[in-house]
Every structure is written in C-alpha cells, then in structure tokens.
Structure 1
Amino acid sequence: MRIYEQAGGMFWLLFAALVMAESMRLGLGTPTNPGTGFVTFVSALCLGLLSLVHIARTTFQGAEAADDKAPPLAAVPRVLPSFIALVLYALVLPLLGYGFTTFALMFVLFWLVQPKRYVLIAVLAFISTALTQLIFQFLLKSQFPVGPWGF
C-alpha cells in the first residue's frame, strides 16, 4: 500500500512542477502586480509542497501505519459521482451562471458526504454559495458568469 501512496505523491509532484513551469512561461509578475501565471504558480507550489510532505510521511512511517490510514471502502463509491458533479459544474457554469450552478454543486457534494435531511443540505448549500459570492464577487470584485435569471 505504501508504494501506491508514494507513486501518487510523485504524480502530483510532477504535475505541480509542470504547472509551475507553464506558469513561469506565462509570466509571474510581482505580488503587487501579478502576471497571468501568478495564481497558478502559487497554487502549484502549494500542491508541490503538500506532495513532498505526503511522500515523506509515507516513506518514513512504518508499513503498518500506512495501511491503517487507508480510506474505508464505503467512501470509494462517492468519488465517481463527485467527479461527475465537478465536470458537469464546469460545463454548465457559463450557461446557468454562478449562483444556481454553485448551489446545485454544493447540494450534491453535501449530500454525497453525509446524506441528511434535504432541508438542512439546501440551507448549507445556500449559505456556502452566498458566502463565496459575497467574498469573491462583492468584496474582491471578481466577475462570475451571470445566468439567464440575472444571478
């Protein structure tokens, strides 16, 4: 099991290195005047550091401890629906806008994590959508896609 964890960490480390190289090609700029590749470079740097930490943990811990940390099999069937929901989110976001699409995504993800009462899931999805829209659109002045309903 440990070799698979190390291989996964190496994959993400290589991916981070490739993204960092491409980000540098796009231009980093400065922290006060960021270039096109600045955000992706910093994100890839974080991913690379986390990958190194993961590789170090799986290398230097005992084999028994690595096997004890394996995720339960009950969580495995949630991965594919989560992936499908994220792909659909990326495809539908420009058509239906940020508010509705993000609410639907958060509803599905909250339901996949822990199926509870639908009213509670809807409230949590609404709160998380409203908070992200408040922070990014109104405070940071980011532009989000507007759907046919105007939000």
Structure 2
Amino acid sequence: MERFNNDQVSAAIWLAVAIIICLSALRYDLGALASPGTGFMPFLAGLAIALFSFIGLVHGTLRRKQGVGWKPSMRGLKWEKPLIVLAALFAYIFLLTPLGFSLCTALFIGFLLRTVKPQKWFVVMAGSILTALGSYGVFELWLKAQLPKGPWGF
C-alpha cells in the first residue's frame, strides 16, 4: 500500500503555499481589525488556504485508511479545451486595451460559451452581454475602477 494518496499530496503542497503566504504577509504591517494594514488581507488569505488544505489533508488521510491509494492523475486527460481557454485568456489580455473592457469581455465570454461547452446562440449572446454589462456595472460604476475604453468609448 502506498504511503500517500493524491489528496494528501495536493493538500500538503497547498499547506506549504499557505505557510509561505502567511510568512510573506508578516513582512508587511498587519495592523488591527479596526484599521488593517497592507499585510492583513494576504495573511487572512493564507490562513484560509491553510484551513482548507488542513481539511483536505485530514480528508485524504481518512480516505487512505479506507484503502484509496495513489492514482496517476495525468493519464487520459484531454488537453484541447484547457489550451483553448489559455489561448483565449492571452487573446483577452492583448485585446483588452484596443477593444475596451466591455466589448472584449463580451467577446471572451461568448467565445468560451460557444467553444468550451457549446451553448445555443441565444445563451451565448445573453450570457456574454449580461456578463459584460454586469461586470461593467460592478467595476466601473460601483467600484469606480478605471477600465480600458475601446474605440467606441465603452
């Protein structure tokens, strides 16, 4: 029987990442709850990752005791769709400034909805337009973030 299973190994890696995040956040001022410093949110994020990875480690240990061992995780994977998503993300990055946030976001979501898990055209159009409008409303109007405007001013 193997010493570790997949869940234990991945949880241990995430626990190490969480420790690195927390230690790195300690280099900045944590502040207090009433007035948090620059390291407060990264430290909390590291604690959250540590908590979930610890839960995963316990879960993986219990599964190993039930007889679940190591399984090759990369065998039989289909890489076509993840590579399409990665290419779409790079295209989004390069087209964001020339096309603007709203148009580029609508095209990106529409492309993903049509190619990764093909949807009907109505769903593609509605999903991409609603996502672009919703994200514009949240980031530009509510949070007052400065988003790239395309040649049409939106």
Q: Could you tell me the TM-score, scaled by structure 2's length?
A: 0.67
The whole-number CA distance in structure 2 between the counterparts of 1:41 and 1:147 is 37
Larger Rg over CA atoms: 2
Answer with 55-64 or 119-128: which moved more.
Answer: 55-64
1:74–1:142 distance in 2 versus 1, CA, 3 Å:
same
Contact map agreement 1:58 1:66 (CA 8 A) in 2: no
Residue in 1 aligned with 2:133?
A: 130
1:73-96 alpha-carbon deviations (Å, 9 max, x no partner): 676542232233334434443443
Q: Which has the higher helix share?
A: 1
| CA distance in structure 2 between the partners assigned to 1:145 and 1:45 by the alignment | 34
**Which residue, out of 21, 36, 48, partners 2:50?**
48
Structure 2, gaps ≥5 residues long: none
Unpaired segments ≥5 residues, structure 1:
none
Q: Which amino acid aligns with 1:46?
A: A
Match of 1:10 among 9, 12, 15: 12
Residue-by-residue CA offset, 1:51-98 (whole Å, 9 max, x unaligned): 22222222212345997xx8xx67654223223333443444344332
Q: How many percent of aligned residue pairs carry the same amino acid?
A: 26
- The structure-2 alpha-carbon separation of the partners of 1:104 and 1:66, relative to structure 1 and needing over 3 Å to count, comes to farther
Describe the superposition over 1:121-146 as per-residue Cα deviations: whole angstroms up to 9, x where unpaired.
Answer: 12112212221221232223233233
Q: Contact 2:5–2:68 at 8 Å: present in 1 too?
A: no
